[in-house]
C-alpha cells in the first residue's frame, strides 16, 4: 500500500531543500521580531545581532533563548509581532503553576496549524472515511481545536464531543461508529473503566481502531496496555501551547521516534545547564525556533522537555523530517527522593509490566524525620486476597528497587479505589515535601 501523506512534497522534501527553506524562514522571523517585538529587539541588540547578520542555519546558535518566564512576564500580548486586530484566536494553557501561557494566532497561523495537524492525523491513519471523535476540550486549550482543524482538512466525519460526560462519549462511539479517537492517555483509561461498568467491550463492541494521544507523559508499557484494551493502534502527538498547540510532530506507522515538522520549526537539543547545543543521539532539552509563525514568533524557545534527536535523516515511511525520541520527562518533573533523581514515568514503566496491576497509581512522597519516604499506591487489575496483595506489593517493591536504588513502600488497592479525573490530566504524584 502506498504511504499516505497530507502534504507529500513538503513532508518528503530533500534535506538541502528543507535547509534552504529553513534559512529563509529564520531570516524572516529574526527580521519580524526585531522590527515588531521590543523584548526581542533589546535582546538582539544586547548581543550585537542585526537581522542582516543571519546568513546560515548555524547562526541560530547566536540567537537569544526564550523561556517560559519570558512569556509569562510579557503576558498577555508583549511578545505579539502583530496588532491585536490581526490576531484571530487566543488560546491558553491551564496556568496551574501561575500565569497562563498564551497561544496567539493570525488566520494564516490557524491555517498552517491545521496543515500540521492534518499531517499528524494522516500519519496516524486518519482518512476521509473515518469517524473521528475528539475528546480533548474544545475551549481555551489548544488540544480540541487542533484536532478539529486538522480533522476538517482531512475530510473525516468529526464528532467534537469535547471532554467529560464519559457515558455519553461511549454512547456516541457506539451510535456513530467512531473509528478513531483523540484523547489524553488518562482519559482513554477512564473511558475503558466506564465502558466496563456499562458492560461494553471496547475491543469487540466498538469500531475504534486508531487513537492519537498527546499532552500527558506516558510510557510504551502503558501504551501497550491501552492498545490491547481497545484493540487499536496508538499514535503519539507532540506539541506545546507556546509553539502552536499539538501538531509540532507525530510518530509514524513505524513507531520509532516522532517526526518534527522542520519546515515550521528549527529544533535544537541543548544542555539544560549550560545552554550549549548538543549533537544527535545525545539527550538534552528541546528548544524550538518558529519559522512560519506570524502572531507570536519565538526564538529558541526552551521547552523543558528532555529528549534526543535521531542521527538518521531517513525513515521507512518516506518522510524526511527529523525524528526525536519520545519525550522522556520534563526538567521540572524530575523528583529527588533519598538523593536519587528520577521521573515518575520510570515508576510507571515498572508497574505496567506486571499483568495483574491495574492502570491507576499514585506516587506519594513525604519526609519522615530526616529521611524521605515514598509510597506507591497502585490498584490491582481485579479483586485480590490480602495474601495476594502482599505478595504483589513485595514483588513490585523489589523491582522498583532495581530502578530507584532505594526501596519504596508499595500498597496494592482494590480496583476503583484511587480518585479519578473526568477532565484534565491525571495526578500521579503528590510531593508533600513541596507543600
Ligand atoms: Zn517515519
Q: What is the pLDDT of residue 341?
A: 84
Gap from CA of 182 to ligand 1 centroid (Å)? 20
Gap from CA of 244 to ligand 1 centroid (Å)? 22
Q: At what angle do helices 220-230 and 185-197 cross, to 10 degrees?
A: 30
Mean pLDDT of the chain: 93
Q: What is the pLDDT of residue 330?
A: 81
Cβ atoms within 10 Å of 209's Cβ, excluding its own: 16
Cβ atoms within 10 Å of 322's Cβ, excluding its own: 22
Gap from CA of 156 to ligand 1 centroid (Å)? 22
Q: What is the pLDDT of residue 191?
A: 95
Gap from CA of 262 to ligand 1 centroid (Å)? 14
Gap from CA of 310 to ligand 1 centroid (Å)? 12
Q: Could you read off the pLDDT of 380-400 as tens digits, one per residue?
A: 999 999 999 999 999 999 999
Residues 81 and 373: their CA atoms lie apart, in Å, by 49
Gap from CA of 325 to ligand 1 centroid (Å)? 12
Gap from CA of 329 to ligand 1 centroid (Å)? 22
Q: Could you read off the pLDDT of 2-41 as tens digits, one per residue?
A: 899 999 999 999 999 999 999 999 999 999 999 999 999 9
Averaged pLDDT, 302-329? 95
For the cut 90, the answer to whether the pLDDT of residue 47 exceeds it is: yes
Gap from CA of 320 to ligand 1 centroid (Å)? 8
Gap from CA of 318 to ligand 1 centroid (Å)? 6
For the cut 80, the answer to whether the pLDDT of residue 423 exceeds it is: no
Gap from CA of 150 to ligand 1 centroid (Å)? 19
Find the DSSP H helices in 177-275.
185-197, 202-205, 220-230
Gap from CA of 157 to ligand 1 centroid (Å)? 26
Residues 163 and 180: their CA atoms lie apart, in Å, by 16
Gap from CA of 315 to ligand 1 centroid (Å)? 5
Averaged pLDDT, 287-300? 98
Contact 239, 246 (CB under 8 A): yes
For the cut 80, the answer to whether the pLDDT of residue 199 exceeds it is: yes
Averaged pLDDT, 296-307? 96
Gap from CA of 321 to ligand 1 centroid (Å)? 8
DSSP SS3 for 379: strand
Q: What is the pLDDT of residue 435?
A: 58
- pLDDT class for 244, splitting at 50, 70, 90? very high
Amino acid at each position: 500500500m502506498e504511504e499516505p501523506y497530507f502534504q507529500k512534497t513538503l513532508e518528503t522534501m530533500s534535506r538541502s531543500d528543507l535547509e534552504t527553506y529553513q534559512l529563509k524562514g529564520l531570516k524572516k522571523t529574526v527580521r519580524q521580531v526585531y522590527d515588531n517585538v521590543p523584548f526581542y529587539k533589546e535582546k538582539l541588540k544586547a548581543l550585537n545581532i542585526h537581522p542582516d547578520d543571519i546568513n546560515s542555519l548555524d547562526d541560530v546558535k547566536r540567537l537569544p533563548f526564550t523561556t517560559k518566564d519570558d512569556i509569562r512576564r510579557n503576558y498577555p500580548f508583549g511578545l505579539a509581532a502583530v496588532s491585536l486586530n490581526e490576531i484571530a484566536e487566543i488560546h491558553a494553557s491551564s496556568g496551574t503553576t501561575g500565569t497562563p501561557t498564551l497561544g496567539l494566532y493570525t488566520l494564516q497561523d490557524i491555517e498552517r496549524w491545521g496543515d500540521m495537524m492534518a499531517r499528524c492525523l494522516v500519519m496516524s491513519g486518519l482518512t476521509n472515511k473515518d469517524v473521528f471523535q475528539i475528546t480533548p476540550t474544545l475551549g481555551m486549550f489548544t488540544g480540541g481545536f487542533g484536532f478539529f482543524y486538522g480533522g476538517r482538512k482531512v475530510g473525516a466525519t468529526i464528532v467534537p464531543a469535547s471532554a467529560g460526560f464519559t457515558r455519553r462519549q461511549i454512547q456516541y462511539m457506539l451510535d456513530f461508529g467512531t473509528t478513531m479517537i483523540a484523547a489524553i492517555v488518562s482519559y482513554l483509561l477512564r473511558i475503558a473503566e466506564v465502558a466496563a461498568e456499562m458492560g461494553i467491550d471496547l475491543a469487540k463492541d466498538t469500531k475504534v481502531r486508531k487513537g492519537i494521544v498527546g499532552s500527558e507523559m506516558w510510557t510504551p508499557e502503558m501504551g501497550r496496555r491501552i492498545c490491547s484494551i481497545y484493540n487499536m493502534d496508538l499514535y503519539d502527538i507532540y506539541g506545546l501551547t507556546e509553539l502552536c498547540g499539538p501538531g509540532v510532530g507525530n510518530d509514524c506507522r513505524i513507531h520509532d521516534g516522532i517526526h518534527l515538522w522542520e519546515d515550521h520549526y528549527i529544533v535544537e537539543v541543548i544542555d539544560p545547564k549550560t545552554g550549549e547545543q548538543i549533537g544527535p543521539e545525545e539527550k538534552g532539552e528541546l528548544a524550538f525556533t518558529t519559522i512560519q509563525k506570524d502572531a507570536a514568533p519565538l526564538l529558541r524557545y526552551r521547552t523543558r522537555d528532555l529528549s534526543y534527536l535521531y542521527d538518521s535523516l531517513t525513515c521507512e515511511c518516506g518522510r524526511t523530517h527529523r525524528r526525536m525520541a519520545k519525550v522522556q520527562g520534563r526538567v521540572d518533573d524530575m523528583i529527588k527522593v533519598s538523593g536519587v533523581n528520577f521521573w515518575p514515568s520510570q515508576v510507571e514503566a515498572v508497574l505496567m509490566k506486571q499483568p495483574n496491576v491495574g492502570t491507576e497509581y499514585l506516587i506519594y512522597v513525604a519526609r519522615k524525620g530526616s529521611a524521605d519516604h515514598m509510597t506507591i499506591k497502585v490498584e490491582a487489575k481485579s479483586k485480590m486476597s490480602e495474601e495476594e496483595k502482599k505478595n504483589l506489593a513485595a514483588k513490585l517493591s523489589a523491582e522498583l528497587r532495581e530502578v530507584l536504588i532505594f526501596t519504596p513502600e508499595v500498597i496494592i488497592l482494590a480496583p476503583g479505589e484511587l480518585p479519578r479525573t473526568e477532565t484534565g490530566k491525571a495526578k500521579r504524584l503528590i510531593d508533600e515535601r513541596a507543600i
